[in-house]
Amino acid sequence: MSASQQYAVVRFSPASRIAAVVAVLVLIALACAPWWAGRADMRLLSELFLYMALASLWNLLAGYAGLVSVGQQAFVGFGGYCLLALTIFFGFSPLIAIPIAGIAGALVSIPVAVLIFRLRGAYFAIGTWVIAEVFRLTAAQISALGGGSGTSLPVTVVKSIAASRAMREATTYWMALGIVVLVLALVCVLLRSRRGVALTAIRDNELASQSLGIDIWRAKFFVYVVTGALTAAVGALIFLQKLRISPDAAFSVNDWTAFVIFIVVIGGIGTIEGPIIGTIIFFLLRETLADLGALYLMILGLVAIVIMLHAPKGIWGYVREKTDLDLFALSRRVVVRGASQQPENIENKENAHEPQAT
């Protein structure tokens, strides 16, 4: 027998097949939430979905493209302000304003990327923060949108989503669920594609991937623009739910970046599962500890530091190290045909997070 008959490269494993089935069932159950969940539960779930989307996007940026940004609030706030501007000034329906906010986010992220890609590593991180500050201070200058004190979404705009209150709440809930599914699907498709392989190569070793002919600047630029667009769309949805915007809330580094970073670090950076698990843990912690106020945030900071020092791959990284489990079919594994009782899937685990050599 020749080698090509003996070995096969597979992506789906039994675990990822089961996970896919479970995911579809969970999704169906969640889509039916307006019929079984209360109003408060739906609000909480929507918020959870939106954080999950933000965390997955930040993870794509930092965990895969090596672009550690602490300024993603720039795009959240930008999306939020786009929503208000488009609905108030141009009379767009919020349902159309959200995708337009995403396109606007992509357009604005292009010059931003050209400028701040000149900064490397940690200086890039603070550079993104400066950009977010510029956005915040600029938003505070727009007096038509309330300047520094902000403004509310007009009642007519809110009513244009749907006539009844229950239907409006269900619509915004479905949009939040829809966007997290969209984001996760896009991240999956992106990472499975040729570009995704290039990204993982860059993540593992920038110098080596460059010598293999990968255009690093372009690969990172592409990810930055895609995340910028989707983050802006998520931002528009966030403020469609909040119904009120102000520069400080829209461009808050704590709400839209610090929490998101904690979610990804705790869940496991550089994995798709990490942000999902991290978001669920973050919301469990928040629902039980939020009464502690500032102390709760200190605990969160401490947990993130301890995880970064002792288990830098986060919870999912730890689980995968122990069990070799992949819930999303991303890694290519080599298996021996006819020896399926003991699959040898050791090689080419390209999605295992390796420290980046510079």
Partner 1 sequence: MDWVNAIIQGILLGGLYALFAAGLSLIFGVMRLVNIAHGDLIVLAAFLGLTVTTTLGINPLLSIVIVAPVMGLIGYALQRLVLNRTLGDDILPPLLVTFGLSVIIQNGLLELYSADPQKMSAGAIETASVGLPGGLNIGVLPMLMFATAIVVIGGLQWIFYRSAWGRAFRATSDNQDIAQLMGLNKSHVFGLAMALALVVVAIAGIFLGVRTSFDPSAGPGRLIFGFEAVIIGGLGNLWGTLVGGIILGVCQNIGAQINPGWQLLAGHIAFLVILAIRPRGLFPRIDG
Closest to partner 1 by CB, 119 or 186:
119
Residue 355 interacting with partner 1 (CB under 8 A): yes
Residue 122 interacting with partner 1 (CB under 8 A): yes
CA distance 102 to 104: 5
Q: CB of 301: closest distance to partner 1 in angstroms?
A: 4
Phi-psi region of 131 (alpha: psi -120 to 50; beta: other; left: phi over 0): alpha
From the list 82-90, 208-216, 290-298, 325-333, the region that binds partner 1 by CB under 8 A is 290-298
Residue from 15, 20, 45, 130 in contact with partner 1 (CB under 8 A) = 130
- Which H helix or E strand runs over 63? none
Closest to partner 1 by CB, 121 or 154:
121
Residue from 254, 340, 341, 342 in contact with partner 1 (CB under 8 A) = 254
Q: Which of 315, 322, 313 is nearest to 351 (CA)?
A: 313
**φ, ψ for residue 10 (rounded to 5)?**
-125, 155
Residue from 53, 74, 97, 116 in contact with partner 1 (CB under 8 A) = 116
Site string for partner 1, 296-325 (x = CB under 8 A): -xx-xxx-xx--xx--x-------------
Residue 83 interacting with partner 1 (CB under 8 A): no
Which residues within the stretch 265-284 sit at the binding site for partner 1 (CB under 8 A)? 265, 269
Residue from 36, 89, 90, 123 in contact with partner 1 (CB under 8 A) = 123
CA distance 303 to 113: 32
Residue 251 interacting with partner 1 (CB under 8 A): no
DSSP-assigned beta bridge partners for residue 151: 245
Helices in the chain by DSSP H: which ranges? Answer: 3-6, 14-31, 33-36, 39-59, 73-90, 94-116, 121-141, 155-159, 165-192, 194-204, 206-211, 216-242, 247-250, 253, 259-267, 273-289, 294-310, 314-323
Residue 119 interacting with partner 1 (CB under 8 A): yes
From the list 93-101, 287-295, 316-324, 334-342, the region that binds partner 1 by CB under 8 A is 287-295
Closest to partner 1 by CB, 137 or 212:
137
CA distance 149 to 240: 18
# residues near partner 1 by CB under 8 A: 46
Residue from 2, 38, 118, 149 in contact with partner 1 (CB under 8 A) = 118
| Contact status, residue 173 vs residue 36, Cβ threshold 8 Å | no
Residue 140 interacting with partner 1 (CB under 8 A): yes
Residue 110 interacting with partner 1 (CB under 8 A): no
Q: CB of 149: closest distance to partner 1 in angstroms?
A: 13
Residue 15 burial (CB count, 10 A): 15
User: What is the torsional sign of CA 210, 215, 218, 219?
Assistant: negative
Output the six-digit token pair for 91. 């009379």
Residue 71 interacting with partner 1 (CB under 8 A): no
Residue 285 burial (CB count, 10 A): 16
Output the six-digit token pair for 81. 């302000």
Place of tokens 């999704």: 27
Site string for partner 1, 41-70 (x = CB under 8 A): ---------------------x-----x-x
**Three-class DSSP category at 260:** helix
Q: Which residues in this chain contact partner 1 in the complex, by CB under 8 A?
A: 62, 68, 70, 115-116, 118-123, 125-127, 129-130, 133-134, 137-138, 140-141, 253-254, 258, 261-262, 265, 269, 293-295, 297-298, 300-302, 304-305, 308-309, 312, 355-358
